[in-house]
Amino acid sequence: MEIKHTLDEMTSQLTVNLQERGINDPLMIGIHTGGVWIARHLHESLQLSEPLGTLDISFYRDDFTRIGMNPEVKPSKLPTTVENRHIILVDDVLHTGRTIRAALNEIFDYGRPASVTLVVLAERDGRELPIAADVVGKHIKLSATQHIKLEGPDKLNLVVQETE
């Protein structure tokens, strides 16, 4: 699935959302790995002056006691304090909501933000927690055997795959 057009739509939706709420200086944070790719695009098109933050939620996952340590874990990098800031949290796919729960917990360990706005490229059915996105690029309904994945980072492409 081509996503360039979707990213443009998300940019305008997000611009309106921030304007309506009077937020001028948001801090954007992308979730590793696909969320960071999407955040880079939005960060550029919104021309945010502050560097993009990146979050790896491996240390906050709720399934550590089931699957162990993620060997691909990357450092989280937040450019400044999140205390009192309006955060734009970006991920590629919103599915169960567990990643966002973990990300929120991690952000709150860095400080108390003024607000968190959730932006996702795609949301699919299958929520297991009461979490909803504020800006959504695509709404996708999948069967139980399918999952959706963002390929990148050079050319971003959203693909639906059959789970083995």
Partner 1 sequence: MKQNNIQLNDDGQLRHFISIEGLKRQVLMDILDTAESFISVEAQQVRKVPLLRGKTITNLFFEPSTRTRNTFELAAKRLSADVLNVNISASATSKGESLLDMLHNLEAMHCDMFVVRHAQSGAAHFIAQHVAPHISVVNAGDGQHAHPTQAMLDMLTIRRHKQTFADLRVAIVGDILHSRVARSQIHALTTLGVTEVRVIGPKTLIPNDIASLGVHIYHDMNEGLRDVDVVIMLRLQKERMSGALLPREKEYFNLYGLTCEKLTLARSDAIVMHPGPINRGVEISSDVADGPQSVILEQVSNGIAARMAVMSMLLGQRFANETEGGQ
Footprint on this chain of partner 1 (rule: CB under 8 A): 56, 58-60, 64-69, 71, 73-78, 81, 83, 105-106, 108-111
User: Which CB, 49 or 65, lies closer to partner 1?
Assistant: 65
Least spacing, CB of residue 161 vs partner 1, in Å: 23
CB of 79 to partner 1, least distance (A): 10
Give the relative orientation of helices 4-20 and 34-45 as an angle to the nearest 10 degrees: 60
End-to-end CA distance of the chain: 21
Beta carbon nearer to partner 1, 81 or 143: 81
Whose Cβ is closer to partner 1: residue 56's or residue 92's? 56
Which residue lies nearer to partner 1 by CB, 14 or 52? 52
Q: Tokens for 100?
A: 């966002």
Q: Which two three-digit tokens encode residue 91?
A: 């991920």
CB of 53 to partner 1, least distance (A): 11
Pairing of strands 146-151, 157-162: antiparallel
Are residues 117 and 26 in contact, defined by beta-carbon separation less than 8 angstroms? yes
37/60 with CB nearer partner 1: 60
**Are 44 and 7 a contacting pair, CB within 8 Å?**
no
CB 65 to partner 1: min, Å: 4
DSSP of 8-25 = HHHHHHHHHHHHHTT--S
Provide, rounded to whole angstroms, the least separation between the CB of residue 84 and partner 1. Answer: 12
